[in-house]
C-alpha cells in the first residue's frame, strides 16, 4: 500500500466535465476539501458540445414509471427511484447553482419523453439561455447552440467561486487502494512525472466514456467500425481504472448515436442534422440503403440520435461482413439544394463548415453524383471501395421505386413518418457513405443509488463513486437530454455522499 503522496485532499474528482464540476462543488458544500484533475488542456469534455438542455421531471412517481419501462429490467428499482427523485429536484438544484453567475434558465415545457411510455408527459427541459456578460470561451466555439458552453461555464463558475483547485493536462493513470481494497487516492501524470494524490474521504470518477478507444469500441459494440464525435481524450480511462480495483461494468453496448459521416481528412465524425426530438412534419430528403441497395431502416425514428445506428449493426457470415456498414444515403437534386446533409462539430483544430447546398462536398468527392439511379449504382461501386463492389443497380432502382410509392401512399413498412417523406425523382441523384456514429457511450462501472461503484458481487467498492456518462443510468433506451440531466443528478448525489465519508487519519 502506498504511503507517500505528493498531494492530499478529502475528495478527489477525476475529470472536469459537467458531472465532475457538479460533484466537486457539492462535495465542497458538504465540508470537504476537493481537488479536480483533468486530462485535457481545458475543462468541458463532451458536456461542452451538448446541444440540449438538462432533463427534469414534474413528478418523481411518473418518472419512475417511465424509467422502469425505458430501462427494461436492466437497472435496479432502487437506482431508478433515486434517479427519478433527483430529476424531480433537478430544476431547484440547477437554479441554486445558477445563482453563482445569474444564469438565465429557460424552462422548455413541451419536450416530452422520447418514447410513448406511461409518465411521458412529466418530462421537461431546463436550458441555460444566457449568462450575463458571457460570450463563450476563447478556446471553444459552440456547435448547435451555446447550451453546452453555458453548462460548462456554470460548472466552472461554481468550482471557481468555491476556490476548488483544478489541475489541467493531468491525466490520472490509476487508482490506489489500501490492502483491503479501500480506494485511498490516485496516481496522475503531470509534465511527464508521476503525481500521487491521497484522498482522505473519496474518489469520484467523472471521466466520461470510451468514444475514442478503438479497442473498447471493438470489444463492446456489435457493429464495426463505429466512429465518434467526442473529444479525443475520451478513451475509457475511468472504466479501466475502476475495473482494476474490482468494478462490475454495465451498459457498455449502449451508444447515444446515429448514422453519419467519416472522412479520412477529419479525425472526428460528423452526424446528420436531425438531432433532438422527432418532428413528424420535418422533411428529410434522403433514404438509407445497404451495400446492395436495399432500404432497411426508419431513417427518422422517435429519437433520431438514439436508435438508427442499431439497425446497421447486423453481421452476415455468408458475405462475410457487415452488409450495412457503411450504408449509402441516397438523395436527389431537390434534396441536395434543400439543406446540408451533415452537421459537423466545431472542435479546436477540427473545424469544418459543411456547405449549405452540399456542393463543396460533391467537389471533394465525399458525395457522388449521377444522372440516373442505375448510373449512381455504378458510381458507388467504382468510387467507394468500402462498398466492395456489392451495389446492385436493379436493387437500388427497385428501392427508389418502392420509396416513391411510399411517399405517394404515406405508408412505409419501416414506419417513417409520412410528413418527413420526400420523393426521389429529380436528377441528378447523389450518394454519400454513412457509418454508425457515436455521440457518446453510456457504459462504465455499475453504481448504486448513492453513485457508489459496485463490484460484480453487488458490494460497493469503498470510497469510490462514478458520475455522468461513465456508467450512465441508460442501459436499454436513451432518453434524449438525459445525459446532461444525469450529470446534475449524479454529481449532486455523489458529491453529497462523498462528503459524508469519514476522513482517513
Ligand atoms: C456532440 C455532442 C452532443 C451532445 N448533446 C447532448 C444533448 O443535447 N443532451 C444531452 O443530455 N447529452 C448530450 N450529449 C452527451 C453529453 O454531453 C455527455 O454525456 C455528458 O456531457 C457527459 O458529461 P460527463 O461530465 O460525464 O463527461 P465529460 O463532460 O465528457 O467530461 C469527462 C472529462 O473527463 C476527462 N478525463 C478523461 N479521462 C481522464 C483521466 N484519465 N484523467 C483525468 N481526466 C480525464 C475528459 O478529458 C473530460 O474532460 C452530447 C454529446 C456530444 C459529444
> pLDDT per residue over 332-354, tens digit each?
999 999 999 998 876 666 678 89
| Mutation to probe ligand 1, out of 21, 169, 207 (largest number of atoms < 8 A from CB) | 207
pLDDT reported for residue 3: 87
Cis peptide upstream of residue 462 (ω within 30 degrees of 0): no
pLDDT reported for residue 306: 82
CA of 17 to the centre of ligand 1 (A): 6
> What SS3 class is residue 205?
strand
- Where do the DSSP E strands lie in 97-145? 104-108, 123-130
| Count of CA atoms in the C-beta half-sphere (13 A) of 173 | 9
CA of 486 to the centre of ligand 1 (A): 11
Q: Which residues of the chain have pLDDT under 50?
A: none
Q: CA-CA distances (angstroms) from residue 229 to 258, 424, 436?
A: 11, 29, 11
3-state helix, strand, coil in the chain (%, to 5): 30, 25, 45
| Mutation to probe ligand 1, out of 15, 271, 350 (largest number of atoms < 8 A from CB) | 15
Which ligand 1 atom sits closest to the C-alpha of 143? 1
| Mutation to probe ligand 1, out of 114, 147, 440 (largest number of atoms < 8 A from CB) | 440
Q: Whose CA is nearest to atom 8 of ligand 1?
A: 52
Does the beta carbon of 18 lie inside 6 Å of ligand 1? yes
Domains of the chain: 7-49+141-254+442-500 (3.50.50.60), 256-438 (3.90.700.10)
- Where do the DSSP E strands lie in 248-351? 249-250, 255-261, 270-271, 287-289, 327-332
Cis peptide upstream of residue 428 (ω within 30 degrees of 0): yes
152-166 pLDDT, tens per residue? 999 999 999 999 999
Does the beta carbon of 60 lie inside 6 Å of ligand 1? no
Amino acid at each position: 500500500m502506498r504511503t507517500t503522496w505528493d498531494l492530499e485532499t478529502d475528495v478527489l474528482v477525476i475529470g472536469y466535465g459537467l458531472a465532475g464540476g457538479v460533484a466537486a462543488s457539492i462535495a465542497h458544500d458538504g465540508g470537504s476539501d476537493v481537488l479536480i484533475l483533468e486530462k485535457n488542456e481545458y475543462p468541458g469534455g463532451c458536456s461542452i458540445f451538448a446541444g440540449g438542455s438538462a432533463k427534469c421531471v414534474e413528478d418523481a412517481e411518473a418518472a419512475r414509471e417511465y424509467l422502469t419501462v425505458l430501462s427494461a429490467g436492466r437497472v435496479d428499482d432502487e437506482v431508478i427511484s433515486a434517479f427519478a427523485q433527483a430529476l424531480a429536484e433537478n430544476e431547484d438544484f440547477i437554479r441554486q447553482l445558477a445563482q453563482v453567475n445569474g444564469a438565465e434558465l429557460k424552462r422548455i415545457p413541451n419536450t416530452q419523453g422520447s418514447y410513448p411510455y406511461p409518465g411521458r408527459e412529466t418530462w421537461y427541459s431546463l436550458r441555460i439561455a444566457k449568462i450575463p456578460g458571457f460570450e463563450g470561451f476563447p478556446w471553444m466555439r459552440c456547435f448547435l447552440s451555446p447550451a453546452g458552453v453555458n453548462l460548462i461555464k456554470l460548472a466552472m463558475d461554481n468550482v471557481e467561486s468555491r476556490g476548488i483547485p483544478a489541475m489541467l493536462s493531468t491525466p490520472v493513470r490509476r487508482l490506489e487502494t489500501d490492502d483491503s481494497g479501500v480506494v485511498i487516492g490516485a496516481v496522475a501524470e503531470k509534465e511527464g512525472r508521476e503525481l500521487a494524490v491521497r484522498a482522505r474521504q473519496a474518489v469520484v470518477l467523472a471521466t466520461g466514456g470510451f468514444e475514442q478507444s478503438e479497442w473498447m469500441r471493438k470489444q463492446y459494440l456489435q457493429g464495426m467500425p463505429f466512429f465518434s464525435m467526442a473529444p479525443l481524450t475520451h478513451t475509457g480511462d475511468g472504466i479501466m481504472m475502476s475495473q482494476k480495483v474490482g468494478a462490475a461494468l454495465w451498459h457498455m453496448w449502449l451508444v447515444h448515436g446515429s448514422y453519419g459521416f467519416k472522412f479520412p481528412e477529419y479525425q472526428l465524425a460528423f452526424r446528420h442534422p436531425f438531432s433532438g426530438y422527432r418532428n413528424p412534419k420535418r422533411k428529410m430528403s434522403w433514404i438509407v440503403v445497404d451495400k446492395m441497395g436495399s432500404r432497411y431502416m426508419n431513417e427518422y425514428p422517435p429519437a433520431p440520435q438514439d436508435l438508427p445506428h442499431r439497425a446497421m449493426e447486423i453481421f452476415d457470415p455468408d458475405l462475410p461482413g457487415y452488409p450495412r456498414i457503411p450504408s449509402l444515403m441516397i438523395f436527389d437534386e431537390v434534396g441536395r439544394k434543400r439543406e446540408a446533409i451533415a452537421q459537423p462539430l466545431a472542435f479546436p483544430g477540427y473545424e469544418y463548415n459543411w456547405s449549405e447546398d452540399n456542393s463543396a462536398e460533391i467537389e471533394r468527392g465525399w458525395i457522388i453524383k449521377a444522372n440516373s439511379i442505375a448510373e449512381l449504382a455504378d458510381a458507388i461501386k467504382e468510387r467507394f471501395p468500402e462498398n466492395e463492389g456489392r451495389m446492385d443497380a436493379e436493387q437500388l432502382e427497385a428501392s427508389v421505386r418502392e420509396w416513391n410509392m411510399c411517399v405517394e401512399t404515406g405508408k412505409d413498412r419501416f414506419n417513417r413518418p409520412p410528413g418527413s417523406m420526400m420523393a426521389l425523382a429529380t436528377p441528378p441523384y447523389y450518394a454519400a457513405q454513412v457509418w454508425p456514429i457515436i455521440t457518446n457511450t453510456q457504459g462504465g462501472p455499475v453504481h448504486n443509488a448513492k453513485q457508489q461503484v459496485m463490484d460484480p458481487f453487488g458490494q460497493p467498492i469503498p470510497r469510490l463513486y462514478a458520475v455522468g456518462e461513465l456508467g450512465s443510468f441508460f442501459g436499454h433506451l436513451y432518453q434524449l437530454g438525459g445525459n446532461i440531466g444525469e450529470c446534475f443528478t449524479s454529481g449532486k448525489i455523489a458529491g453529497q455522499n462523498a462528503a459524508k465519508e469519514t476522513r482517513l487519519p
